[in-house]
Amino acid sequence: MRLLAGAIIVTILLAIASLFVGVSDVSLGALLSSSAEDRAMQVLLISRIPRTLAIVLSGAAMAVAGLVMQMVVRNRFVEPSTAGTTESASLGFLVATIFFPAWPLMGKMLIAAAFALAGTALFLRILRAVPLRDTLLVPLVGIMLGGIIGAVTTFFAYRFELLASLLAWNMGDFSGILRGRYELLWIGLGCTILAYVAADRFTVAGMGKDFTTNLGLNYQRVMVLGLVIVSLVSAVVLVSVGSIPFLGLIIPNLVSLMVGDNMRRTVPWVAVMGAGFVLACDILGRILRAPYEIPISVVVGVIGSAIFLYLLLRTRRNAA
């Protein structure tokens, strides 16, 4: 508990630091000497606080979604961006934009979630049909499926002149987050809480269908619940901030190395470390090329891919 409390304190400090990093002068002195109508206070209320909340909510939700997917698929190298889930959500958002352009963002998000659920179910169906003798083949199948779905999405985006919009969806970026444009991410918080409530069921389901059935649990219901959580989180994050790769893969694996595989114990760790990791990457992206900003998907992608390679090499070394 002390280590978790320390992680929470570090995350809170990063969140506070995030409020004061940016082009506009939002220093503590400027805030104390300004009224509610002054620029510094307006930037804080309209931009910095919503952005920080969006970072925390999306980081925690995506990390927990990755943990849930790893339990459902029973593979440590699976997460929404390596299972075709994110690409399916992007296709669903494109379909909603083409056929229902006047719909509110919530309606488009639900369509994206439905496509994400269908894409993830297709991924699981393929896994049942393909004999997999190596755990590393599972994410490879997901990456190939995601590539196919991504190609279809790009084709239709090109035909309907929506390539620029598609690029914006696939490029995770918090710079456009303002008050009134991040509130859907609270759904991700609800999914995170639901994952914690059902943590014991996911832990049992991760031991296999026969074991789960023998303990009196409905394996299919647990699977559906897990897929719904992953799909909703993937869709909400995609339509709000874009794609954030590798987050749901590296954070659960790092937490597993620290505290083990009991999901009831790891969900708070994964949520806190996911939020802290994205906060740190976002601050880094704002500092490296100030006053310009590096998108969060680029920073997380570079750091996440390096950690992913380390985890792969570590797995190979332990297997040998």
Burial letters 57-87, b for 16+ CB under 10 A, else e: bbbbbbbbbbbbbbbbbebbbbbbbbbbbbb
pLDDT of residue 246: 85
The rounded mean pLDDT for the chain is 86
**pLDDT tens for residues 154-201?**
999 999 988 888 887 788 888 888 888 888 899 999 999 999 998 888
Instruction: Report, as an integer, the average pLDDT of 55-84.
Output: 89
User: Quick one: which of 82, 227, 81, 73 has its CA closest to 140?
Assistant: 82
pLDDT of residue 151: 94
Spatial distance between the Cα atoms of 296 and 282, rounded to a whole number of angstroms: 6
- As a residue count, the chain comes to 320
Q: What is the DSSP letter of 261?
A: S
Asked if 272 contacts 149 with a C-beta cutoff of 8 angstroms, the reply is no
The 3-state DSSP class for residue 152 equals helix
- What are 81's two structure tokens? 């961006």
**pLDDT tens for residues 14-67?**
999 998 887 776 766 666 666 655 777 888 888 889 999 999 999 999 999 999
**pLDDT tens for residues 256-285?**
888 877 788 899 999 999 999 999 999 999
pLDDT of residue 319: 52
Spatial distance between the Cα atoms of 234 and 240, rounded to a whole number of angstroms: 10
Q: What is the DSSP letter of 177?
A: -
User: Quick one: which of 122, 68, 64 has its CA closest to 268?
Assistant: 64
For 58, how many CA atoms within 13 A lie in the half-sphere containing its CB? 32
Spatial distance between the Cα atoms of 320 and 305, rounded to a whole number of angstroms: 23
Asked if 319 contacts 133 with a C-beta cutoff of 8 angstroms, the reply is no
Spatial distance between the Cα atoms of 95 and 89, rounded to a whole number of angstroms: 10
Choice between 90 and 77, residue whose per-residue pLDDT is larger: 90
Q: Domain residues for 305?
A: 2-319
pLDDT of residue 230: 92
Helices marked H in 161-295 — which ranges? 163-170, 185-197, 199-205, 209-214, 219-240, 247-259, 263-288
pLDDT of residue 243: 86
**pLDDT tens for residues 195-242?**
999 888 888 887 777 778 887 888 888 888 898 999 999 999 988 888
Q: Considering its fold, how many domains does the chain have in total?
A: 1
pLDDT band at 290 (very low <50, low <70, confident <90, very high): confident
Q: Hey, CA dihedral for 153, 166, 117, 273, is it positive or negative?
A: positive
Who contacts 320 (Cβ-Cβ below 8 Å, separation ≥6)? none
Asked if 198 contacts 190 with a C-beta cutoff of 8 angstroms, the reply is no
pLDDT of residue 317: 60
Spatial distance between the Cα atoms of 236 and 167, rounded to a whole number of angstroms: 17
Spatial distance between the Cα atoms of 40 and 211, rounded to a whole number of angstroms: 58
Q: The domain spanning residue 243 has which CATH number?
A: 1.10.3470.10
pLDDT band at 316 (very low <50, low <70, confident <90, very high): low
Burial letters 286-301, b for 16+ CB under 10 A, else e: beeeeeebbbbbebbb
